[in-house]
């Protein structure tokens, strides 16, 4: 999304927008350093941030977030043992700071992917409504217009569709 505008909308599950800050973290469930995945496995950067700083910067959306114009739905859960959920928060807050259309879904006490049926269902409903709005011209759901305040979480879902103008 920082390199192209060909997508009308996108969803990002447990994103890592800042590989430099994530590099120094640990996997909460195991206590393992996250460094191996950036140097040698999943991200395949090939070395440390001090050896290849530009590789980390070029592969971290946070450094080019101003170029994102694609509406983004982010799902990042607070019990994620693989990717620190503050990465998702950093991404969302930065997008909102720039006035970019973005939404953040967090399922409390859920890991990398929601396990509870009600949360899986909720995520699928919200993702369908998000893409229906951006790709099919469907009415915008209330949750996309005003959000769901923390005190209403799990009580008022905001699935209702607004009237199209």
The pLDDT tens digits of the residues spanning 46-59 come to 999 999 999 999 99
pLDDT digits (tens, 9 = 90+) for 103-123: 999 999 999 999 999 999 999
What pLDDT does 91 receive?
97
- The residues spanned by each domain of the chain are 1-16+68-165, 19-59
What pLDDT does 30 receive?
87
What pLDDT does 79 receive?
95
* Residue in this structure with the two tokens 């915008």, named with its chain if needed: 140
Coil, strand or helix: which one is 31?
coil
Q: Pick out the chain residues at pLDDT < 70.
A: 164-165
* Beta pairing partners, 13: 75
Q: What's the predicted TM-score (pTM) here?
A: 0.93
What pLDDT does 165 receive?
59
* Residue in this structure with the two tokens 């859960």, named with its chain if needed: 77
What pLDDT does 43 receive?
86
Q: What is the separation of C-alpha 46 from the centre of its chain, rounded to a whole number of angstroms?
A: 25
Furthest C-alpha separation in the chain:
54
What pLDDT does 28 receive?
84
What pLDDT does 128 receive?
98
CA distance 7 to 148: 26
- Residue from 99, 94, 39, 45 nearest 69 by CA: 99
CA distance 93 to 81: 21
| Helix ranges (DSSP H) in the chain | 19-23, 35-39, 53-58, 85-97, 117-136, 142-146
CATH domain 1-16+68-165 topology: Rossmann fold (3.40.50)
């Amino acid at each position: 999304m920082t390199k192209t505008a060909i997508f009308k909308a996108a969803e990002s599950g447990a994103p890592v927008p800042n590989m430099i800050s994530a590099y120094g973290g640990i996997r909460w469930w195991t206590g393992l350093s996250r460094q191996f995945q950036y140097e040698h496995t999943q991200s395949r950067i090939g070395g440390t941030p001090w050896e290849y700083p530009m590789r980390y910067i070029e592969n971290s959306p946070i450094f080019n977030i101003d170029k994102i114009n694609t509406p983004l739905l982010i799902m990042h859960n607070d019990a994620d043992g693989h990717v620190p959920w503050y990465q998702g928060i950093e991404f969302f807050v930065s997008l909102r700071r720039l006035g970019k259309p973005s939404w953040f879904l967090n399922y409390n006490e859920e890991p990398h992917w929601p396990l509870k049926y009600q949360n899986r269902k909720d995520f699928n409903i919200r993702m369908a409504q998000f893409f229906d709005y951006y790709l099919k011209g469907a009415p915008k759901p209330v949750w996309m217009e005003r959000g769901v305040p923390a005190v209403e979480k799990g009580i008022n879902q905001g699935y209702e569709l607004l009237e199209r103008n």
